[in-house]
Each structure stands twice: as structure tokens, then as C-alpha cells.
A and B are shown apart, each in its own frame.
Chain A
Amino acid sequence: MILKNVARKSAYHFYLLRLLDSPNITQTPHVLKMGENKPTPTGTFKILYFAYASTHTKKSEELLPAPMQLSELFEALDKKYPRMKDKVLGSCMVTVNLEYVDMDTNKGKELKAGDEVGIIPPVSSG
């Protein structure tokens, strides 16, 4: 939870810095109450980690540099979080902008700035 807040806060700072750079500085950012609804900073896509993907990365979301080929995503994450491919990603479902993507048939797909990617493992308990 703490980590999540830190991640959210740093994303927020990033956003503020971007705003300072942009010409419409006079406008105060006002839609910040819902963390996930704020715009993603230019040049990044947002990735959300659910269930044991979140346990492995120790965070619930972060920003990664865009663009990135979908086929490179797992390698990039495995590099950042050792053994993630083996221990987590092999069994996960992936979504882009709230829509399921088949990792086998969508190899050419590009993750663009502002996209939201979800890493969703199967949860079996109940």
C-alpha cells in the first residue's frame, strides 16, 4: 500500500513537472482525485500489476517508456524484475486499454504513449 502510494505520488510529480514544461501552465490540474484517471505523461504507457504480478514487482502500477513492441514487453519486465517471466508472466493474461490481447497472435502490436496495460494472473482461491 505504501509502495503504491509512493508510485502514485511519483507519477503525480512527474505529471506536475510535465505541466510546468507545457505552455498551458496557468491551468491548475484539477482531475487528480482518481489516480488512474489522470493522463499518462508523454512518452510513457502505464502498466498495472494484479494479484501475484503485484506481489512479484512489489507495486500495483508504474510507467514504462513508450513506444514498445508488445512482443518485447515480457523480456523488458523480466530484465527489470528477475525471473518474472518464469514465475509470473508465463501464466498471465494481458490487456491493452481494457481489452484482452493474445500474446501469440498480436506480436506486431505496438504499445503507444498513454496506453494502459494490465498483467492479470489467474486467481484461484475463493
Chain B
Amino acid sequence: MEASLEAENEALKKRISELEAQLASRINHTSFSFQQSRPPPNMVNKSEVKLSPEEYKRYGRQMILPEVGIEGQMSLKRSRVLIVGVGGLGCPAAAYLAGAGIGTLGIIDPDTVENSNLHRQIIHSTSRVGAPKVVSAITYLRDLNPHPNYIPYIEPLTTENALQIMAEYDLVLDCTDHPAIRYLINDVAVIMNIPIVSASALKMDGQLVVLNNPPGTGPCYRCIWPRPPPVGSVVGCGEGGILGPVVGLMGVMQAVEAIKIITMNPVRDIGRTEMTLFAACGASPFRCLKMRGRKAECVACGSPERAEEKITRESIEGGRMDYVAFCGGRVGVRVLQADERVSVAEYKRVMDSGVEHLLLDVRERTQFGICQLAGSLNIPYTEFEALKCEDSEAEEIKSMFRDQPKDRPVYVICRLGNDSQIVVRQLKEAGVFPDNRVFDIEGGVTEWARSGVAGEFPEY
């Protein structure tokens, strides 16, 4: 009896999260078309807003503060804030910003709620384990304050969507967990003239700094940390551990800084940036560090000596910025044996010989759209990556190749020859092609272009 009730309960929970995801993606689409017609972002957006009698009561306790007042409350209601990552930092930040009456709150995160998140990611809940974090967060936030316009993005922030998404906001909160995304947020925010409230936490310690504030004056992330941390030192909360209230405190402080930036117009203390370090077990838990203004030769916000290093909208949109590689993420991936890889010249001979084979290109669709080898099939790496460590991985991968003959050799190509190796390994482990003749093309389309084996081919 109990077992069947539990099973029914599980099935219903699953159904609820499916429906919530559907609903969120619908909201996403409708709000997207609405956003298209909006005026360009501007901190001094003077659009008319009104407070309802209920809102006067709701926000009264903060409106009577001279630092906020009615003007500050109106600024909050006019403002559009993007929270990147709704985990340990993003949860409390989102809750306080929603509670304070931010007009538009965008939340982007590709992950789903796991029960190991709940000791610190306090706006999610046990009943929403398995639901997309963005859906779970908005469920909580709507209940807390129904007035803000919540915009869900159930996707990662990438070089392909960052410019478009961040263009809709006046302020961004960096609540992410990887250096690659931190550099991406920074570069796009500098291009878009948006201040960043950045925080991070690990173990018992946290960091908080407001960057690019006011835009063009304050230092950016690259002014302070031009070089990313070495790969081995990047420890996530999963490996390093994290105390819930430590990361929570940093998220709450992000909300404080965001409200200060939005309500205190015009910006005070121009050019004064401080970084706050928190060490829960330190003899003096809080330390305020005085920062300098932006660095003249910064590649993001300054004028680097070598002008071609300057990061621009074009270099991000054109796919020339590989943030993961910059942070050492997948550089020099070597998961295959020498006999599982072929050089571009060897592949050219296969191509010319007319032997029947499958060429699988695992670059993202936009990149595939830029240039591709004749007769190739495009299935992006991210689709393989999403299946990793899932119970159904092998079956799902097999179904991707349902319509392909299985008796031919397969050659896998990507941009640089890293992702393709991982996909070769996945295809082999899943046993998609029974005789396992699956090969990686070394160096990817970049090497294909550089080597000139097939004459002219664009390198991008």
C-alpha cells in the first residue's frame, strides 16, 4: 500500500515538473517577443511606473528609508536585473531583489534542482527536486512577490546568446560557478555598458565586488584578474565544499549592492570600487580592499597594446572567443589512443577514395552554419554532453543515429579536435556502430583549414 502511494507520489511530482517546464518555456517565448519591441536598455530609463495601494504597503518599510524613498522605489520598479545562475548565490539574491520590487527579473540557469543543492539553495525545495532551477526559483519568487515580471531562461549563457539576452537588462548579477562564464559575463557587460555585481564563495570564504560601475570608469573582472586560475586550482562546491550561510551571505550582499546601484542615482563615489572578502573563520571576518579604476591596457575595457587583442562584439559573436579554452577547460584533451585518430590528410584520402562513410560534425549549429565539409551530419557536442552519466545515455545516443547505416566507418570532426574525441569515446561506449570503426579527425576544421589539404576553407 505504502509503496504504491510512494510510486504514485513520484509519478505526480514528475508530471508537475514536466508541466512547469512546459509553462516556463511558453512564458519564455511570449516574453521574448514582447522584449523585442522594448526600447534599448538605459539606466536612466524614465518610463512611467505606478505603485498600487498594495505595493505602497508592501514596500513601505524600505520606502521610508531616506536612501530609498518613493524615487528609489520607482527606480527599482523600472529596473531590469539579470541573475546568471540560481544556485547558492543566486537564490538569496533573487529572493531579496524580488522582495524589494525589481520590475523585471531575468533568471538564467540550465541545471535542475538536486537534493545536494538544498542546504544552501534555499528558494528551491525538496518537492521540486528534478525540476529546472529556473522554474523552481520562479515558483518561489512569484509566491513571495507576484508583481515583478519574471523572465526564465532554461539554458546556459553562451557566446551565442549572451549579447542578445544581456541587452535586455540594466544590471547583471554574476552568481555563476565557473571562471569561463565569469569572463564571458564580464566581456559582454563591458560591451553593453552594464554594471556587474559579482560574488563567489567556496568552503568558508567569499568574495564580493561591483565591476564596471559606473560603466567605463570602474575596473572590470579582467582588470583585476587578467589571467584565469590554473585548471587544477578551480575547485567547485561539489569538491571543495561550501557552508550554506557563507555563500548565502555573499548572495544577500549582492542584493544589497544591486539595490544601492539602482536606487542611488546619480551614482555616488565615482571611481571608488571596493572588494569585500569574507572569511567565516578569520580573526577579522570582513576585509574591505580598495581597488583602482580600470586598467588602461585591459583587453576588455581598455586599449590593449596589441589592438587585435581587444574584445569586441564581433570577436564574441564571431566565435573567436573560446572562453572554455581560455580557462584551460578542454585544452589538450587526450582521451583517445593514436589508432583511434586520423590526421586531416588521412581523412582527405578517405574522402577522395569514395569509400562509403559517415562524417559527423559536432560543432554548435551556428558554427556549422559558417562552414562545413561536404556530406557531413551535424549533431552538436552539447547534445552528447547533456546525456553524459545519464542511465539512458547509450539508448539516447543510439536513437540519434536511428536512420544511419551502421556498417560504415565513422569520422568525427569538431572545431579544434577536443570535443570530437569525447564524442568518439561516447559513441564507442554506447556501441552505436557494431564494428566500432569510429575515428577522430585531429585538429578539427581549424586544422583542415590551416593545412590547406582541401584547398581554400574558411578559418574562423
> With an 8 A cutoff between CB atoms, is B75 at the interface?
no
Number of interface residues of A (CB under 8 A): 30
Contact status B283-A126, CB under 8 Å: no
Residues of A within 8 A of B200 (CB): 122-126
Given that A122-B179, A126-B87, A126-B176 are contacting pairs, would A88 and B233 also be in contact in the complex, using a CB cutoff of 8 Å? yes
> With an 8 A cutoff between CB atoms, is B218 at the interface?
no
Residue on B nearest A90 in the bound complex, by CB: B227
| Of B7-15, B99-107, B290-298, B401-409, the one touching chain A | B290-298
Rounded to whole angstroms, the CA-CA distance of A100 and B65 in the bound complex is: 33
**What is the distance, in angstroms, from A30's C-beta to the closest C-beta of chain B?**
16
Number of interface residues of B (CB under 8 A): 49
> With an 8 A cutoff between CB atoms, is A102 at the interface?
yes
Residue on A nearest B179 in the bound complex, by CB: A124
> With an 8 A cutoff between CB atoms, is A34 at the interface?
yes
Residues of A within 8 A of B288 (CB): 98
Q: Which of A37, A102, A120, A121 contacts B233 (CB 8 A)?
A: A121
Given that A35-B283, A98-B289, A100-B291 are contacting pairs, would A126 and B177 also be in contact in the complex, using a CB cutoff of 8 Å? yes
Contact status B232-A126, CB under 8 Å: no
Residues of A within 8 A of B90 (CB): 126
Contact status A122-B229, CB under 8 Å: yes
> With an 8 A cutoff between CB atoms, is A17 at the interface?
no
Interface string of A92-126 (1 = CB under 8 A from B): 01010011101000000000000000101111111
Residue on B nearest A52 in the bound complex, by CB: B233
Interface string of A31-64 (1 = CB under 8 A from B): 0001111000000000000111001000010000
Rounded to whole angstroms, the CA-CA distance of A100 and B295 in the bound complex is: 12
**Overall SS of chain A's interface:** mixed
Residue on A nearest B90 in the bound complex, by CB: A126
Residues of B within 8 A of A8 (CB): 283
> With an 8 A cutoff between CB atoms, is B284 at the interface?
yes
> With an 8 A cutoff between CB atoms, is B199 at the interface?
yes
**What is the distance, in angstroms, from B289's C-beta to the closest C-beta of chain A?**
5
Contact status A90-B230, CB under 8 Å: yes
Q: Which of B224, B236, B279 contacts A100 (CB 8 A)?
A: B224
Chain A interfacial positions (CB closer than 8 Å to B): 1, 8, 34-37, 50-52, 55, 60, 86-88, 90-91, 93, 95, 98-100, 102, 118, 120-126
The 9 A-B residue pairs whose C-beta atoms are closest, nearest first, are: A35-B283, A126-B89, A124-B179, A123-B200, A122-B225, A52-B233, A99-B290, A91-B227, A125-B177
